Amino acid sequence: MKHLIQLASRSAWNRRLTLGLTLAAIAFSTLLLLGVERLRQDARENFALSVSGTDLIIGARTSSVQLLLHAIFHIGATTTNMRWSSYQELSTHPLVAWTIPITLGDSFHGYPVLGTTSAYFEHFQYGHKQALQFNTGAPFKQLFEVVLGAQAAAQLQLRVGAQITLQHGSGDLAHAEHADKPFTVTGILAPTGTPVDRTIHIPIEAIEAIHLDWQGGAPIPGVSISPEHVRKFDLTPKTITAILVGLKQRAAVFRMQRWVNTYPADALIGIMPALALDELWQVVSVVERLLLAVSTMVVIVGLIGLLAVILASLNERRRELAILRSVGASPRDLFILLTLEGLGITVVGALSGVALLTLLTISLSPWLQSHYGLVITLRWLNMNEIALVIGIISIGLLASIIPGYRAYRMSLADGLTPRL
């Protein structure tokens, strides 16, 4: 057997150009298949790790997925806001342990701005019930202070004590700035791997303060209120976007949700984050399955390419096979030789694909994290991925049997002298 392996590898090396190309095809198709699976799993994990310990998310009545995406992931927008009076009544409800009011809508160089209270830094949890930690600094106490997420601070190169001005709306437009009211950075959070890293946190009263001399999305001409005078106004918000709620008894969540959904003074919805995430995955699962099917198709195309190359070369190698027969190789040996060649290319291709995946993960993960907030971890192949690689190799093996069988028949028919 060993001599057959040596023979097969020497023979393949002789035709290294064409076989090298098919090896590249198999490597890239394996990379695609494994990469898609890994991205899918990592995206799911990232989403699931973003919220923990929160029993209900309450906001103006909209779909549960939309509220979850907006309140936690800052994707999309809600149609309207909920009243401050609803928040007040909710925070005094006997079943409620803590509440975090949040308001969204402004942005800073593409990073969403979140207006909230100090309860956010006390009660917000992510991952496996982990609380937020500060890398440097402390939570805001004054009106025009801001706390940055780790990613936002690193990308914008801001430190504690820096001054920033916010923009209105969620785009990156240079105009519509609140330039007359600058904010001071008081704290930078430790990295969490969640959308918190890309968020700018300001006190909820500050959202009211910077919009006092605005009307309908633009500053009122001729009116400008300085930061000192702003503090004299009543800055309690009239509307907020959402509330994160923790209950004293987690099993009471259904009753609380019912109370919120039938609250007469405001149109509200209460969602359970885990269930809303499941709904999101149901919607996305069709696309996921489609992606998986396409990747599998690509792998099959790569293997068909391998098959085509080896079969095409078979005709030129009839003399080679005849020489091998004449030095004592049996037709069965030739069968094994050809099969080994195909199998070897497939195995090396699959392993190169895995190596390419590792390389791409190392090089692309910082960019993915900074632009999309998606954390891809470098890790060994799990059982699912190993099963996929074994599947690719076994299909390659089955495909290689075909040229092996043809070589077997050819050498039987040609005998020791091929008729060319």
Q: Could you say whether residue 278 binds other proteins (CB under 8 A)?
A: yes
Q: Which of 2, 94, 216, 238 binds other proteins (CB under 8 A)?
A: 94
Out of 229, 231, 250, 289, the residue judged to bind other proteins by CB under 8 A: 250
253 touches other proteins (CB under 8 A): yes
Place of tokens 């080994």: 340
Name which of 67 and 298 has its Cβ closer to other proteins. 67
Q: Is 122 in the site for other proteins (CB under 8 A)?
A: no
Residue 381 binding other proteins, by CB under 8 A: no
Could you count the other beta carbons within 10 Å of the beta carbon of residue 416? 11
Q: Does 251 bind other proteins (CB under 8 A)?
A: yes
Q: CB of 365: closest distance to other proteins in angstroms?
A: 18
User: How far is residue 222's CA from residue 237's CA, in Å, rounded to a whole number?
Assistant: 24
Closest CA to 24 of 405, 294, 290, 309: 309
Go through 117-142 and write b for each residue having 16 or more CB atoms within 10 A of its CB, e for each that does not: beebbebbebeeeeebeeeebebbee
By CB under 8 A, residue 288 contacts other proteins? no
Q: Which stretch binds other proteins (CB under 8 A): 41-49, 133-141, 199-207, 384-392?
A: 41-49
By CB under 8 A, is residue 255 in contact with other proteins?
yes
One DSSP character per residue, 172-190 reads --SSSB-TTS-EEEEEEEP
The answer to the question of residue 128 lying near other proteins (CB under 8 A) is yes
Contact pick of 110, 127, 182, 219 for other proteins (by CB under 8 A): 127
Q: Which residues contact 316 (CB under 8 A, 6 or more apart)?
A: none
Instruction: Tell me phi and psi for residue 90, to 5 degrees.
Output: -65, -40
DSSP H helical segments within 327-380, as ranges?
Answer: 331-372
Decide whether 233 or 254 has the Cβ nearer to other proteins: 254
Contact, 185 vs 134, CB < 8 A? Answer: no
Candidates 258, 289, 371, 379: give the one binding other proteins (CB under 8 A).
258
Q: CA of 181: how far to CAs of 7, 85, 413, in Å?
A: 77, 27, 90
Q: How far is the CB of 50 from other proteins (least distance, A)?
A: 10
Least separation in angstroms between CB 417 and other proteins: 55
If the CB atoms of residues 274 and 355 are measured against other proteins, the closer one turns out to be 274
Task: Assess 267 for contact with other proteins (CB under 8 A).
Answer: no
Query: Looking at residue 195, what DSSP letter applies?
Result: G
Query: In this chain, which stretch among 7-15, 42-50, 233-241, 321-329 interacts with other proteins, using CB under 8 A?
Result: 42-50
Query: Site map for other proteins, 43-82, x if CB under 8 A?
Result: -xx--xx--xx-x---------------------------
DSSP string across 15-38: THHHHHHHHHHHHHHHHHHHHHHH
Interaxial angle between packed helices 331-372 and 383-414, expressed in degrees from 0 to 180 and rounded to the nearest 10: 150
Upper half-sphere CA count for residue 375 (Cβ side, 13 Å): 18
CB of 258 to other proteins, least distance (A): 5
Taking each helix axis from N to C terminus, what angle separates 331-372 and 16-49, rounded to the nearest 10 degrees?
40
Beta carbon nearer to other proteins, 49 or 348? 49
Name residue 340's amino acid: L
Which of 71, 272, 388, 392 is close enough to bind other proteins by CB under 8 A? 272
**Does 365 help bind other proteins (rule: CB under 8 A)?**
no
CB of 94 to other proteins, least distance (A): 4
What token pair was written down for 171?
């785009």
Q: Which is nearer to other proteins, 93 or 318 (CB)?
A: 93
Gap between the Cα atoms of 40 and 59, Å rounded? 29
Q: Which residues bind other proteins (CB under 8 A)?
A: 41, 44-45, 48-49, 52-53, 55, 94-95, 127-129, 248-255, 257-258, 272, 274-275, 277-278
